[in-house]
Structure 1
């Protein structure tokens, strides 16, 4: 069969399965099986044998053990008062900056992202605390909601990140190096957000009322007491990885233990909460792992059909410069982000795009960070931007208004993409010295 025809068949079957409302993992499995049957003329027994081999091998990957552990850690911390403590600890530090307590959205989300590894959990947890306080003190709704929607997406980038683990497993690159590489871009995005907030509030002081700059607990001891749980968990999890004392999977288990100790010692853990954390972690983990296993089958299927090679040859024939290629991929991912969630985007696109970017000379670690930022942008774009739905439920604002409030932060994240593309060392230099 003609290479173009085979490629079109794969995409047509996938789109048909997704449009029918099937679960993503079933859509991927059906696409893989039907494509092998229609394009390669494989008999059902051979397709079943390939699927069995690939799915079992993917399911037994040691690196995937980190996924349920980090999800469980996030579930435990989600049910504690850690976000309240974080707000009380950060408020005295940022209250004198232009923009005042709006910076808690940015810094708090960045820190909480390093605890949960989840964007939606970060947005929901930090938002439940800060939005109420900011509204009570008459801060600008536009800046409060927009900054939280943008900052919450950092949960996918700042380590430990479930999305980075998934990319590392699929791309077969070091997860520890991906974690290190995500630090500087994450800090850059947070700094860009805070700088924008400060600039807006300097121009229009009414956006952050002066009378809001009050704090009940401003002593150094109170600040340390409130922020120490977050910093302690970050230090234990990331420190054990970067020092080589533990693998990411082992560090995730350590993180669960530390989170459990915190919840028990602060008397916030009950049997019912414990049961709910396990149930929710199992549900999410099964969903993620099912998608990953089916994606491995899809990767193998399109490998048999030489789809990545055909697309790579087509793009190579266009003689695009590396920068034009990145622009094209950026538009492609932003378009996908309008309709698909982040994990689905990674597992469906990576078998096709990774060979192309490697052939163009890009580092796979750099591309992983680029891809995660592209997915973060999708979290802020309707109609499927998950952060928009979370903010809509918390703020009770129409989703189109939440999207409009988040637009400046969307553009700021695009600016960071430009910076790391022009200067890729912003992503890679830490991986070479640590």
Structure 2
């Protein structure tokens, strides 16, 4: 069978099952079964053992253990007043910068992402504090909501990131190296956002009221005290990983313990918080792990069809430059992100895309960061961009205005991706330094 026929059957089954509204977990399994049966004429008696072996082996990967633990840590923090403390801590530090308190969106999301791992949780938690405060103080609505939409996606890029763990398992790449690789690109994106906010408010002073009140040492000291809980958690989790004292899974367990201690010390611990955070973690973790298991089976089916090697050979025959390949993949991911969430995009595309970029000479760790940025873009593109709907709920504005507000930050993500493509060492320098091969 030709690769064209195999690809047509595979894509046809994807559109059939996912377009019909079948759950993605079930849809991926049905696509894999249908491909093996229709293209290779495998009987169900042969497909069954393949599915059982692949799904069971993928479900017991040790790296997957860190997913529910990091999710639990983030959910515990989500249910506390950490976001309120972040705003109070950052406000004295940024109010004299052009753009003033708008920078609390960017810096708040950057810091909260380091203990959350989720884009949606970061956007919702930081936004429920900053958006009312910013609008009440006369800041421009579009710049306030747009900066939060963009910065909220840092939950995927700033470690620890659930999306990085999923990619690391699928690509068989070091999760610790991926975590390290996300730090400098995340800070670069934050710098681009803050630079844009400063420039926009300088050109249009009406977007951000000036506050020329001098900031006292006492105010700064109180602000730094409010940042101690999140700073402590970041230090414990990331410090234990990068120092080599703990694996990501072990660091996640320590992080959960530290998060619980913080809730006790700050007087916020309750049986309801403990149980509700645990139940939410079970639901989200089960969904992600089911998607990974289904993706492993689909990847096995694709391998039986010899599609990765055929597509890689076809791309190689086109003699595309590495930059042109990345541009094509970027367009593909932007379109795909309009209809799928980040986890689904990852599990469906890594088996095909990763061999292509590795053939073009890119490091799999670098491609993981590139893919995460693509997923960040999907959080800002309708009709499935979840950050947009979270913002719509926070502000009460129509979706069209929310999309327009997020557009400049979507374009800044595109700029950041181009910078990463030209200077890949932005992502690779730190993991190469910390984990010398």
- In structure 1, the partner of 2:95 is 95
> Is the Cα contact below 8 Å between 1:123 and 1:152 reproduced in 2?
yes
What does residue 245 of structure 1 align with? Answer: 245
Deviation, 1:196, is 0.4
| Corresponding position of 1:24 | 24
Give the superposition deviation at 1:215: 7.9
Q: How does 1:344-423 map to 2 (within 5 A)?
A: 344-423=344-423
- 1:338 and 2:371 are equivalent in the alignment: no
Matched with 2:292 is: 292
Assess if the C-alpha contact under 8 Å between 2:70 and 2:116 holds in 1: yes
- Whether the aligned pair in 2 keeps the contact of 1:113 and 1:122 (CA below 8 Å) is yes
Q: Distance in 1 between matches of 2:276 and 2:119?
A: 20
- State the alpha-carbon separation in 2 of the partners of residues 180 and 402 from structure 1: 32
Aligned length: 434
Cα deviation 1:93-139 (Å, max 9, x = unaligned)? 00000000000000000000001010000000000000010011010
Q: Following the alignment from structure 2 to structure 1, what is the Cα–Cα distance between the partners of residues 217 and 167? A: 41
Deviation at 1:220, TM superposition (A): 3.7
How much has 1:213 moved relative to structure 2? 6.5
Structure 1: how far apart are the matches of 2:245 and 2:11? 44
SS in 2 for 1:101: helix
CA positional deviation for 1:360: 0.8
Matched residues in 1 for 2:412 and 2:212: separation? 26
RMSD (Å) for aligned C-alpha atoms: 1.3
Q: Aligned equivalents of 1:147 and 1:288: distance in 2?
A: 28
Q: 1:210 is paired with a residue of what secondary structure?
A: coil
Identify unmatched segments of 5+ residues in structure 2: none
Distance change >3 Å, CA 127–CA 76, structure 1 → 2: same
Q: Does 1:129 align with 2:129?
A: yes
Deviation at 1:45, TM superposition (A): 1.6
CA distance 1:105–1:215, change in 2 (3 Å): farther
- Report the CA distance between 1:205 and its aligned residue: 1.2
Report deviation, 1:266: 1.4
Hey, what's the Cα distance between the residues in 2 that align with 1:393 and 1:314? 45
Shift, 1:221, TM fit:
3.1
Report what 1:304 is aligned to.
304
Deviation of 1:275 after TM superposition, in Å, equals: 1.1
SS of the residue corresponding to residue 96 of structure 2 reads: coil
SS at 2:227 equivalent: helix
- Cα deviation for residue 280 of structure 1 reads 0.5
- The separation in 2 between residues aligned to 1:249 and 1:40, in whole angstroms, is 39
Alignment CA distance shift 1:120-1:274 (3 Å):
same
Helix, strand or coil at the partner of 2:33: helix
CA–CA separation in structure 2 for the residues paired with 1:159 and 1:68: 15
Displacement of 1:219: 2.6
User: Is structure 2 residue 140 aligned with structure 1 residue 144?
Assistant: no
The separation in 2 between residues aligned to 1:412 and 1:103, in whole angstroms, is: 16
Cα deviation, 1:254-299, whole Å, max 9, x if unaligned, reads: 1111001111221212111211101100000000000000000000
How far off its partner does 1:91 sit? Answer: 0.1
Separation in 2 of the partners of 1:212 and 1:126? Answer: 25
> What is the match of residue 164 of structure 2?
164
Give the structure-2-normalised TM-score. 0.97
Query: Conserved in 2, the CA contact under 8 Å of 1:101 and 1:213?
Result: no
Q: Is contact 1:91-1:215 (8 Å) kept?
A: no
CA distances 1:289-314 after superposition (whole Å, capped 9, x unpaired): 00000000000000000111111111
Cα contact 1:86–1:227 (8 A) shared by 2: yes
- Tell whether the 8 Å contact from 1:95 to 1:214 is kept in structure 2 after alignment: no
Given that residues 156 and 372 in structure 1 are in contact (C-alpha distance below 8 angstroms), is that contact kept between their aligned partners in structure 2?
A: yes
Relative to the length of structure 1, the TM-score reads 0.98
Q: CA deviation at 1:2?
A: 2.1
